[in-house]
Structure 1
Amino acid sequence: MARNKYDIDESLETEFSFEQLKRLGTYIKPHRKEMIITILIMMLSSALGMLTPIILKNIMDDYIPNKNIRGVVFISIALLIINLVIVINLRIKISITTKLGQSIIHEIRSDIFNHLQELPFSYYDDRPHGKIQVRVVNYVNSLSDLLSNGIVNTITDLFSLIFIVAFMLFLNIRLTLICLCGLPLLMILIFVIKKRQRVAWQISSNKSSNLNAYIAESINGIRVTQSFVRERENIEIFNNLSSNYSSAWMNAVKYNFLLWPAIDNISTLTTAAIYVLGVAWIDQGISSITVGVLIAFTGYIGRFWAPINTLASFYNSLLTAISYLERIFETIDEPVLVKDIEGATTMPDIKGKVEFKDVTFSYDEDAMILNGIDFTANVGESYAIVGPTGAGKSTIINLISRFYNIDSGQILIDGVDINTVTIKSLRKQMGVMLQDSFIFSGTIMDNIRYGNREASNEEVIRAAKTVCAHDFIMGLENGYDTEVNERGSRLSAGQRQLISFARALLADPKILILDEATSSIDTETEILLQEGLAKLLKNRTSFIIAHRLSTIKNSSCIMYIDGGQIMEMGTHDELMAKKGYYHELYMSQYSFLNDDEIKVEESIF
């Protein structure tokens, strides 16, 4: 798919609507008490600030002409107190809005992360993980300023604007109308750039997503990069993606920077007009305009355009945030394709009988992966699945755990359709070890206990001994308390697989699923491992995909899969006697050995 590449821009599948802003409001609603308190505090500060030009008018028109020094001192003290109250209110506002913004950010990020935990494998198969990560971290962080200050400042400035216009009208209607003449010009500019600005920020977010995706991919593949001396080529790709992001960002902020210079220019023009006309009207002896009125009015002009500038900044922030909100809500709205059906019941204690009845499955409509799979694995049986690459082996075991939904047919465990039970109750009774032996950052003990959080230290150690991991673990500097890095980079591939094996076994499952579980383990260790597994597999139904066919020759049944169908199935001896697909695959693996050497190899296992 196109969006599965770092150099392809993502496309939104839904158009933006103001319903998404309302949806953002649902995160703000629980904090409305703090929001209201903050707004009231700022409105008080705004109202107090409106008094200053009126006070200056009285000083210019009354106190100074009448040489009322005592009155000037009194007014000065009052102005000092007013400014102190405004400063204290601003400090309270900053404290409340910072906590408020971060609380909302945390809630949005939690919703995204929680939803990501429920999305099926297919979601992660379709897109680079870096493009997912950028939404959880960068895009949500980009909303911080909008939520912390933008909303409160906007509401406060709207009320301030009302107060200012009221005071200006009180002082002089003519001058007020002159001041308001600049607003239509500003509205026209906003209308012209609105659509272009939103598109520009969408493009910027796409380029940021591409860059983040490539960085994540490069870090994960750094060993391959250095092994094949690809550093220079990777740097060129990075520089190209970074340059594209830089250009897109500069183009987007260009529209942001159009507003405040426009506001400053309009403000300057209207102020100049008021000075010119105001002075002319004073000379003409118009009684309603005095020096004090003109000074007070010019004081209000600055206050009039300041909140408009803030509103324009909020508008810019809003358009920027919209491009991120679209991505955030798109992620949260991503359908959970694999989920509990309505009325799903808890899976009873599993005994281990597994049935596939005419199961078909495809990742997309154009590529059928499994077509009419039928088999029954009885309790305690071990089923090995072999076949060429891409035949559908891993798909079968993924369907048993309901990592994907089947297209048609049924999968039954102990006669219960797994589609009718809760996913959690199903997977809790399975032990799964996939090809990717993922190790989390933390201690060895924590990684093994990941499959059973209630397990004691003794049970963890017992599981490690069963899979022959105990000796190498005790050879580490702190034994089971040794800290390992993300993805277990300090451990060898074989060691990571042994830990993952212990993790799966510790869950004490009735159904055990092993996908290439021994592919990175040396032959000597695998011999010991097979001895430990012989006891473990007893009375457990197991499904095994193994690279070395000699390791599965004792399985209860071996299925050869090709083209999404079971081409043949039976025991090792039965299939070898048929001299069919399995026989050909088995012999090709040992074509370099003579008959005596094959017997020696087989006798090991």
Structure 2
Amino acid sequence: MIERHKHLLVPLPQGPVFKRLMAYGKPHLKWILIAFLLLVGGTGAEILGPILIKIFIDDFLTPRVFELQPLIMLGAGYLLLHVSAAVMNYSQLLLFQKIALRIIQQLRIDVFAKVEKLGLSFFDQFPAGGLVSRITNDTEQVKELYVSVLAIFVQNIVFLIGIFIAMFVLNVQLALFCLVILPLIILVMQLYRRFSSKYYAEMSEKLSQLNARLNESIQGMAIIQVFRQERRMNREFQKTNKEHHDAYFKSIKLDGLLLRPAVDFISIMTLVLVLSFFGITSLNSPVEIGVLYAFVNYLDRFFEPVNQMMQRLSIFQQAMIAAGRVFRLMDHDELAPVKQGAEDPEIKRGVIEFRNVTFSYDGRQDVLRNISFTVNEGDTLALVGHTGSGKSSIINLLMRFYEIKQGEILIDGVPLKNYDDSELREKMGLVLQDPFMFVGDITHNIRLFDENISDLDVKEAAEFVHADNFIERLSDGYNTKVGERGSTFSSGQRQLISFARTMAKKPKVLVLDEATASVDTETETLIQAALEKMRRGRTTIAIAHRLSTIKDADQILVLHQGEIVERGTHNELLEQRGLYHKMYLLQQGAEKLEEKIEEMKAEQL
């Protein structure tokens, strides 16, 4: 990961993170209030239970007064409280969980929407597995905050407040003594938060690295096996996995020290305090057994929710760290270039002009320097040059995937930055060297959810690029299922489908990034015939892999180290006897050698 992305690994302060998480609850405020009222009602019903027991002990059991009607009413009231508490607690829990799931649903949508707006410069440097971890694992951790932590925290805090109110009703002096335990519990919580945040941040980052490593290994499994890199990849995976394990184990040791044991110790000391108080009081005056029972019962009920909250502190910390990572990504400002200006120009002719364009991916080293050329309506411009000469960078800038450093790009005399994204994507067709296929069927991959493209348009586009020849031979034709990245199709078949996908849009400008580089000679012949029809009436810019395929281009630009070193037609460049001439001779020799090898193979057969 490059330097400008390092801040994505730095945890955000938990205060602002918590406020942003709570802001997601605003659309559900009405139901949150209803759930809160149910929570208060259920908690109040639970707290009143020991009061009724105290009344029974002190007013009926101790003086041995057993009047039937008051006892029936007391028993019925106790039963009613329990039933009411059960119904209200179930309802509030269901509501809180429902709200929590809707909040997480919206959070995931927001994160994914932000990722879609990020520029390609971000994806060039940030590992895909790390992004997947942010959108899935981290949001899942945040879900646990809403589902398993906040509802329990709110419920238990209300319950604790109710318990202290009941304690003050029973005995003000003893209740004041018991207040001493609150600072101790808060101190334990703060100590836990302070030390655990570091461990959980490390855990989340290591898990992100594990996902990135897995994604890279699965994507490149063929290369790993061919070059026998299984052991090395396994060692690297084990190393990252061990680092994740070590960070997790540190958090477990911290949990074991500061969660249950610490609270249990405070609980025992508080019980000793209460019993001592009643023991000392009994020396001077009688002790009400009902009050003693109620206090001990309340203390037991007090520390159970405290223990529940302490045990969920680890989930809370993990969720806050995960939320911080998610919000870091959502706040990242490396966005894709967007339209500027209030006007809505349209691409009608397709005249393309580059004026002194200079560009750098990393902000330090220029990959294009002072690039200038014009492509007239309906003309074909070919870009040739060695690897790294800047051919694909010109295509990337024309498609507005990146912001240019200096200079200007115009289409029909209008700056590229003034066009809306929908206009650019609708009027400019792009075919890459390695076409991407989506899971679905062939029709879906040609149409790509565009409702304006009918089934007839899909078939016409396939026929136009001669893809119908192999599609109709498939068992399910256009309904044939496509696996991940189209792995069940040959590279030539994938390329033909991508051609059909482009032509179904009927673009005004055609951009070809070495579109025939990965197909066989027979398929290339079909594609060349299709390209000839595709280029008619369209402005075309093509990166050429085989120079023999661009002989009829209206203009050829030869690039070297980010600069245009030669320009002209095929014949003009050959006459110059420069870099293009050398490249052509080398390819002619290579093609003749290939033909000779094919002839020898045919003779052997």
Normalised to the residue count of structure 1, the TM-score between the two structures is 0.93
- State the Cα distance separating 1:85 from its structure 2 match: 1.4
- Is the CA contact 1:10–1:206 (under 8 Å) kept in the aligned structure 2? no
Which AA in structure 1 matches 2:45?
Answer: L
- Is the CA contact 1:387–1:393 (under 8 Å) kept in the aligned structure 2? yes
Supply the distance in 2 between the matched residues of 1:212 and 1:364 (Cα, whole angstroms).
25
Identity rate, percent: 36
In structure 2, do the counterparts of structure 1 residues 4 and 389 end up closer, same or farther at CA, with 3 Å as the change threshold?
farther
- Is the CA contact 2:203–2:247 (under 8 Å) kept in the aligned structure 1? yes
- Is the CA contact 1:179–1:301 (under 8 Å) kept in the aligned structure 2? no
Match of 1:601 in 2: none
- State the Cα distance separating 1:527 from its structure 2 match: 1.0
- Is the CA contact 2:337–2:402 (under 8 Å) kept in the aligned structure 1? no
Match of 1:428 in 2: 426
- SS of 1:162's partner is helix
Supply the distance in 2 between the matched residues of 1:21 and 1:481 (Cα, whole angstroms).
48
Q: How many residues align?
A: 594
More displaced 10-residue stretch of structure 1: 243-252 or 581-590:
243-252
Match of 1:128 in 2: 127
Residues 296-445 of structure 1: pairs in structure 2 closer than 5 A:
296-313=294-311, 315-445=313-443
Supply the distance in 2 between the matched residues of 1:597 and 1:582 (Cα, whole angstroms).
22
Match of 1:280 in 2: 280
Superposed CA deviations along residues 336-368 of structure 1, whole A, max 9, x for unmatched, are: 533334534323133111000000100112210
Which AA in structure 2 matches 1:435?
Answer: Q
- SS of 1:143's partner is helix
Match of 1:200 in 2: 199
Match of 1:230 in 2: 229
Supply the distance in 1 between the matched residues of 2:351 and 2:186 (Cα, whole angstroms).
71
Is residue 21 of structure 1 aligned with residue 18 of structure 2? yes
Match of 2:82 in 1: 83
- State the Cα distance separating 1:223 from its structure 2 match: 2.2
In structure 2, do the counterparts of structure 1 residues 592 and 11 end up closer, same or farther at CA, with 3 Å as the change threshold?
closer
Residues 114-193 of structure 1: pairs in structure 2 closer than 5 A:
114-193=113-192
- State the Cα distance separating 1:389 from its structure 2 match: 0.8
Match of 1:499 in 2: 497
In structure 2, do the counterparts of structure 1 residues 15 and 148 end up closer, same or farther at CA, with 3 Å as the change threshold?
closer
In structure 2, do the counterparts of structure 1 residues 390 and 344 end up closer, same or farther at CA, with 3 Å as the change threshold?
farther
Match of 2:540 in 1: 542
Superposed CA deviations along residues 487-537 of structure 1, whole A, max 9, x for unmatched, are: 111111121111111111211111101111111211011112211221220
Supply the distance in 2 between the matched residues of 1:385 and 1:328 (Cα, whole angstroms).
41
In structure 2, do the counterparts of structure 1 residues 560 and 48 end up closer, same or farther at CA, with 3 Å as the change threshold?
same
- State the Cα distance separating 1:76 from its structure 2 match: 2.9
- State the Cα distance separating 1:274 from its structure 2 match: 1.3
In structure 2, do the counterparts of structure 1 residues 13 and 582 end up closer, same or farther at CA, with 3 Å as the change threshold?
farther
- SS of 1:399's partner is helix
RMSD (Å), alpha carbons: 2.4
Match of 1:270 in 2: 270
In structure 2, do the counterparts of structure 1 residues 185 and 277 end up closer, same or farther at CA, with 3 Å as the change threshold?
same
- State the Cα distance separating 1:451 from its structure 2 match: 8.0
Match of 2:105 in 1: 106
One of 288, 291, 301 as aligned partner of 1:290: 288
In structure 2, do the counterparts of structure 1 residues 278 and 3 end up closer, same or farther at CA, with 3 Å as the change threshold?
farther
One of 52, 55, 80 as aligned partner of 1:55: 52
- Is the CA contact 1:4–1:128 (under 8 Å) kept in the aligned structure 2? no
- State the Cα distance separating 1:73 from its structure 2 match: 4.5
- State the Cα distance separating 1:549 from its structure 2 match: 1.4
Residues 218-257 of structure 1: pairs in structure 2 closer than 5 A:
218-257=217-256
- Is the CA contact 2:340–2:419 (under 8 Å) kept in the aligned structure 1? no
Which AA in structure 2 matches 1:49?
Answer: E
- Is the CA contact 2:360–2:367 (under 8 Å) kept in the aligned structure 1? yes
Match of 1:530 in 2: 528
Residues 440-589 of structure 1: pairs in structure 2 closer than 5 A:
440-450=438-448, 452-589=450-587
- State the Cα distance separating 1:2 from its structure 2 match: 4.6
Is residue 93 of structure 1 aligned with residue 92 of structure 2? yes
Normalised to the residue count of structure 2, the TM-score between the two structures is 0.93
Supply the distance in 1 between the matched residues of 2:344 and 2:390 (Cα, whole angstroms).
29
- Is the CA contact 2:360–2:366 (under 8 Å) kept in the aligned structure 1? yes
- Is the CA contact 1:362–1:407 (under 8 Å) kept in the aligned structure 2? yes
- State the Cα distance separating 1:189 from its structure 2 match: 2.7
Supply the distance in 2 between the matched residues of 1:107 and 1:79 (Cα, whole angstroms).
42
In structure 2, do the counterparts of structure 1 residues 366 and 414 end up closer, same or farther at CA, with 3 Å as the change threshold?
same
- State the Cα distance separating 1:406 from its structure 2 match: 0.4
- State the Cα distance separating 1:149 from its structure 2 match: 4.5
Supply the distance in 2 between the matched residues of 1:145 and 1:13 (Cα, whole angstroms).
22
- SS of 1:371's partner is strand
**Gap runs ≥5 in structure 2:** 597-605
- SS of 2:259's partner is helix
- SS of 2:361's partner is strand
Superposed CA deviations along residues 155-199 of structure 1, whole A, max 9, x for unmatched, are: 333232222112111211332233223333333333333322111
- State the Cα distance separating 1:417 from its structure 2 match: 0.3
Supply the distance in 2 between the matched residues of 1:483 and 1:303 (Cα, whole angstroms).
59
- SS of 1:200's partner is helix
- State the Cα distance separating 1:396 from its structure 2 match: 0.2
Match of 2:32 in 1: 35
- Is the CA contact 2:142–2:320 (under 8 Å) kept in the aligned structure 1? no
Match of 1:602 in 2: none
Supply the distance in 1 between the matched residues of 2:509 and 2:333 (Cα, whole angstroms).
29
- State the Cα distance separating 1:13 from its structure 2 match: 5.1
Which AA in structure 2 matches 1:266?
Answer: I
- Is the CA contact 2:380–2:554 (under 8 Å) kept in the aligned structure 1? yes
Supply the distance in 2 between the matched residues of 1:336 and 1:428 (Cα, whole angstroms).
24
Match of 1:64 in 2: 61
Which AA in structure 2 matches 1:248?
Answer: A
More displaced 10-residue stretch of structure 1: 488-497 or 201-210:
488-497
